[in-house]
Chains A and B, each alone.
Chain A
Amino acid sequence: MSFDSGTFWVLFGLSWLLWWRLPFSWAKTAALAASLIFYAWWSPYYLPLIIISAVVDYAAGGRIHAARTDGARTRWLLVSLCTNLGLLGYFKYGHFALENLDSIAGALGVEGVNTAIPWVVPVGISFYTFQTLSYSIDIYRGRLAPAKSFRDFFLFVAFFPQLVAGPIVRAQELLPQFRRRQWPSPWRIQNGLYLIVWGLFTKIVVADNLAPEIDRIFAMIPSGQATPAHVWLSLIYLGCMVFADFAGYSCLAIGLACLLGMRFPRNFLYPYISRGPQELWVRWHMTLSSWLRDYVYMPLWGKKGGGSRQYTAMLTTMVLAGVWHGAAWTFVMFGLYHGIGVVVNRFWVNTFNGGRRARGWPFDRPKGPAAITKRIGIILLMNVFMQSNWVFFRAPDVASVFEVWRIAYIVPFQKGMGWEVFAEARHLVLVLPIVLMHVTQLLREWFAWRERPWHRVLAAAVMIVALVVVRRTDTADFFYFQF
């Protein structure tokens, strides 16, 4: 069941009514039931996984809190880590591991392994695993008290607005909101509706319409029909599609939560206006990057000065971020690509800025026309880095990634760009809303441009009309469900 399906809205309408009509305790039970139906809609066979994950973490959390010795606390933490990472590893990375074993066996000339597996990657497993892990770790670190009610904890794990594609909401943020119902103000309801329209617009109008064009261009690459202009167009489309799809989903989730009187953390802050790889990860999938920062990067680095230890921690974290996205070598490369980018970025700051960022970074304002021009130049350059990386999400293997880069970067000097393709690229009109959104954010950050209520009214009306008129009838699944 996807947020853009009619079935979902029937379920949500029912859940919304029950949430506000029933006594709060019953309302939470109804929301939990709705969440489980929502999850089971894809495949009821995987329902036990989320139940196991919730039961183990609830029990482990309580035991960690109650344990009197460090040894006991650590043992229970290990139970939680092994269960969650074990399920994730088995179901998400099992096929990848078998494939590589098979390749190694083939290279050694011994009998290979059977790579056919009787399961699929359960929807949302990467998201809810990270949520439950943060719960156990936070209790272990003494930053969180265990949930008193299993139902509340299970609802935190399975709460349907963010269950399958984030944002990754931590227990500290969500559990307190289950203590009492917060009646939303008219503003909050309208804010929720606006976010839902925004999310549906970016998904249905932008992402769904760009997807077939990207498919078409990528299908031209193996036979050598794609010119560099084709490839650059497809990379721009892909960058917009991934952003529109994923930010759209996050926004829908936040909007739905708003209608239920809840608050979810922000997940995107217009990443394509970043000035460097580090800033990109401050603005892109913020709940994942802050999760990795708190639970992987900081423990690895330990704040023990700059230099090689910090760079190693950065590289490791980013490779893990890549692997989190999917079980394929292309995702390992994606992580490595960003890891190198982040390390070079940090090295630059350490070497030339004495390890210090500008005051207010990343929201510091450029002063004067020269600084603005320079900043725009850096953003455009950074976009070349960013848009080039999306090919990892689309290419079937690493060799295809290099082929795309060869056409994008080398062929223009050999055979020219083939600019005429741009003249007929009508899909560029779908890129405009994404550009406009980023430009308005720049105006906000650099010039304190103020968004007035009527701006939203106008934007929402335009998006609703576009949703009715420009939607495709055959929609695609949300891109990030696969992670």
Chain B
Amino acid sequence: MGEHGMEEPTWQGMDPDGAVARVRRAQSWSPLLATVGLALLGLVVWQTLAVSRIPEPIMHPNRFDGVIYWAGPNLGPFYAKQDVSSAELLFVGDSRVYDDTDLDVVRQAGEDSVGLIWGPNADLSVLLPAIMDLPAKRLVVALSPSTLGAKTNPVMRASLVTPPPVFEPLSLESALGIWVDGERERLIEEGYSPFIVDTHLSSFRKVLRETTRRSEGGTHQLDRLVRERLNYFRTASIRTLATRRWHREWFEVPNADKLVQACRITLEVISEEERAAAETIVVEKLRELVARGVDVRCVRFPVSPSVLSVEREFVPDARLEAIATAAGVPYYQYQEAGLPAGVDPSEQPERFETRDGSHLTWAASRRFTRMLVERIQGPSTDG
């Protein structure tokens, strides 16, 4: 298992009995054939075992994942999954929509034209106006206390008070570095903790870099094209390949109480005026969509009991129900379906396991999506 152990013997003892030399003289392809055979066998075993036993099933890759979607000047970024500009069925909301909705399951249920737009703590009063012109005929909207007036990442908003400069491809890295340094200093002076600022700037830097490169066209567009074609080949040919969520969940120990504090912080910073203003916009936009003939359904996704109790401290369930009622759309409530911390998922199979209290594990998300799609495909009177 050497880096290149057999390449150039450089010290005595590396090839004491001439085994390396013999192998080099042997003009045989059998090691290569054996390697390919073993690797294929390994993949077959993996596929067979993984589907049922290794932490989560293997996921179908996201073909066009992570397209950056700006709701308006300096409003976002949100992220689009699949081609939202032509999707007939569209899911919108925060990270719960992204994590809890498995688009493969949706497709398997016969929905061929499906897309998803999400953003961390996405404020629906910002997101809904931005998607009004998309051609979706059916819309699934994630309703929760954090999607009403949430400061879509408060640091992001503070950062976007002054829009980032337009970066030139030639000087992208140095200009970005200088901008990030200045921004870091400014945000910390404004009172944000270095941890939050660094976390935000680290991801925002990637977004700005990618946006600049994509706008540049040229080689980056070609790279993207090749990547998409290769991904398409992989998704069409082999189902075992993309393992992102399995992979993430394996490296993270599930903890249904993990995001309790984060949830409290998110909800604390929304003032009552902001929340009320957001509710008004959301109701208005939902009505407008319904009037246009769009089949809208609101959903509250499962969370762990500890997260739910924090959410109820700030927004009672009835307040969200009132939004759906005022807009005249069905409202499916699953907030109590999340599994508490420390309970084995097999003990309560009717509930859904979260990995952090706020987002479902992959297996749970597939189960949940299956159930949700059945309701969406049903009549809209089923609220």
Identify the A interface with B (CB < 8 A).
1, 5-7, 10, 40-43, 45, 95, 115-121, 185-187, 189-191, 193, 195, 198, 209, 213, 215, 219-220, 222-223, 225, 247, 251, 254, 263, 266, 268-270, 360, 363, 365, 424, 426-427, 436-437, 440-441, 444-445, 448, 450-462, 464-465, 468-474
Q: Are A464 and B35 in contact (CB under 8 A)?
A: yes
Q: Which residues of A contact B43 (CB under 8 A)?
A: 465, 468
Tell whether A195 pairs with B4 under 8 Å between CB atoms, given A219-B199, A457-B35: yes
Cβ–Cβ contact A452 & B195, under 8 A:
no
Task: Knowing A7-B226, A213-B251, A424-B253 are in contact, say whether A453-B31 is a contact too (CB < 8 A).
Answer: yes
- Identity of the chain B residue whose Cβ is nearest the Cβ of A187 in the assembled complex: B24
Task: Show 26 A/B contacts (Cβ-Cβ < 8 Å), sorted by A.
Answer: A6-B226, A6-B229, A7-B222, A43-B170, A116-B175, A120-B170, A120-B172, A186-B32, A190-B29, A195-B3, A195-B4, A251-B3, A437-B3, A444-B5, A454-B34, A456-B1, A457-B38, A460-B39, A461-B38, A462-B42, A465-B46, A468-B43, A468-B46, A471-B243, A472-B244, A472-B247
User: Is B19 in contact with A450, judged by CB distance below 8 angstroms?
Assistant: yes
Assuming the A-B contacts A95-B174, A427-B251, A451-B2, are A187 and B23 also in contact, with contact meaning beta carbons closer than 8 angstroms in the complex?
Answer: yes
User: Among B7, B13, B28, which residue has its beta carbon within 8 angstroms of that of A445?
Assistant: B13
- The answer to whether B26 has its CB under 8 Å from any CB of chain A is yes
Inter-chain CA distance A195–B35, complex, in Å, is 13
Q: How far is the CA of A113 from the CA of B22 in the complex (A)?
A: 65
B71 beta carbon closer than 8 Å to chain A? no
What residues on B are CB-neighbors of A461 within 8 Å? 35, 38-39, 41-42
State whether A223 touches B195 (Cβ < 8 A): yes
Interfacial chain A residues near B8, Cβ < 8 Å: 263, 266
A66 to B35, CA, bound (A): 53
Instruction: Tell me, rounded to whole Å, the shortest Cβ–Cβ distance linking A98 to chain B.
Output: 10
Could you tell me which B residues sit within 8 Å of A by CB distance?
Answer: 1-8, 10-17, 19-20, 23-29, 31-32, 34-35, 38-39, 41-43, 46, 50, 61-62, 65-66, 168-175, 178, 193-195, 198-199, 202, 219, 222-223, 226-227, 229-230, 240-244, 247, 250-253
Inter-subunit contact B2/A452 (CB<8 Å): no
Q: What residues of A have a CB within 8 angstroms of the CB of B172 in the complex?
A: 120
Partner pick for B27 among A10, A185, A225, A440, CB 8 A cutoff: A185
CA–CA, A191 to B4, complex, Å? 8
B31 and A117 within 8 A (CB): no
Question: Which of A45, A440, A450 is close to B1, meaning CB atoms less than 8 Å apart?
Answer: A440
Known: A43-B169, A465-B39, A472-B247. A186 touches B6 (CB 8 A): no
| Closest beta carbon of chain B to A221's beta carbon, Å | 8
A186-B42 CB under 8 A given contacts A266-B7, A448-B16 = no
Report the number of A-B residue pairs with Cβ-Cβ less than 8 Å.
Answer: 184
**Given B4, B31, B35, which contacts A266 in the complex, CB threshold below 8 Å?**
B4
Cα A91 to Cα B34 with chains together (Å): 48
A440 CA / B2 CA spacing, docked (Å): 8
Distance in angstroms from A399 CB to nearest chain B CB is 12
Q: Give the contacting residue for A469; candidates B7, B35, B199, B240; CB below 8 A.
A: B240
Q: Is the CB of A120 within 8 A of B230?
A: no
Closest 3 pairs between A and B when the two form their complex, measured CB to CB: A461-B38, A222-B194, A223-B195
Inter-subunit contact B1/A468 (CB<8 Å): no
Tell whether, in the assembled complex, residue A120 and residue B171 are in contact, meaning their CB atoms are under 8 Å apart.
yes
Instruction: Compute how far the CA of A195 lies from the CA of B62 in the bound complex, rounded to whole angstroms.
Output: 30
Q: Is the CB of B223 within 8 A of A470?
A: no
Instruction: Collect the chain B residues with CB atoms within 8 Å of residue A191's CB.
Output: 4, 6-7
Question: A119's contact among B1, B171, B247, by CB below 8 Å, is which?
Answer: B171
Known: A118-B168, A118-B171, A440-B1. 7 other contacts (CB 8 A): A1-B219, A120-B174, A444-B13, A452-B19, A456-B1, A460-B39, A470-B247
The distance from the CB of B178 to the nearest CB of chain A, in whole angstroms, is 6
Known: A1-B223, A6-B226. A186 touches B174 (CB 8 A): no
Q: In the docked arrangement, what's the CA distance between A116 and B34, Å?
A: 56
Contact A451-B5, Cβ < 8 Å, known A119-B170, A266-B10, A460-B39: yes
B175 touches A457 (CB 8 A): no
Pick the residue among B32, B50, B198 that contacts A190 (CB under 8 A). B32
List the A side residues contacting B198 at CB < 8 Å. Answer: 219, 222
In the complex, are the beta carbons of A426 and B250 less than 8 A apart? yes
Contact A186 B27 (CB under 8 A): yes
Q: Could you say which residues of chain B place their CB within 8 Å of the CB of A120?
A: 170-174
Inter-chain CA distance A459–B222, complex, in Å, is: 34
| Interface pair B227/A116, CB less than 8 Å apart | no
- Give chain A residues whose Cβ lies under 8 Å from the Cβ of B28: 186
Query: How far apart are the CA atoms of A242 and B38 in the complex, in Å?
Result: 30
Within the complex, what minimum Cβ distance (angstroms) separates B237 from chain A? Answer: 12
Choice from A187, A465, A472 contacting B42 with Cβ under 8 Å: A465
Min C-beta distance of B189 to chain A, whole Å: 14
Q: Which residue of A lies closest to B246 (CB)?
A: A469
- Taking CB atoms, residues of chain B closer than 8 Å to A95 are 174
A45 and B170 contact, CB distance less than 8 A: yes
Our pick among B4, B227, B241, B242 for the contact of A251 (Cβ within 8 Å) is B4
A473 touches B27 (CB 8 A): no
Residues in chain A near residue B174, CB distance under 8 A: 95, 116-117, 119-120
- A5–B25 Cα distance when bound, in Å, is 34
A185 contacts which of B6, B24, B227 (Cβ < 8 Å)?
Answer: B24
CB-based contact A468/B227 at 8 Å: no
Question: Residues of B contacting A198 with CB < 8 Å?
Answer: 3-4
Distance in Å: Cβ of B23 to nearest Cβ of chain A: 5
Q: Is the CB of A456 within 8 A of B195?
A: no
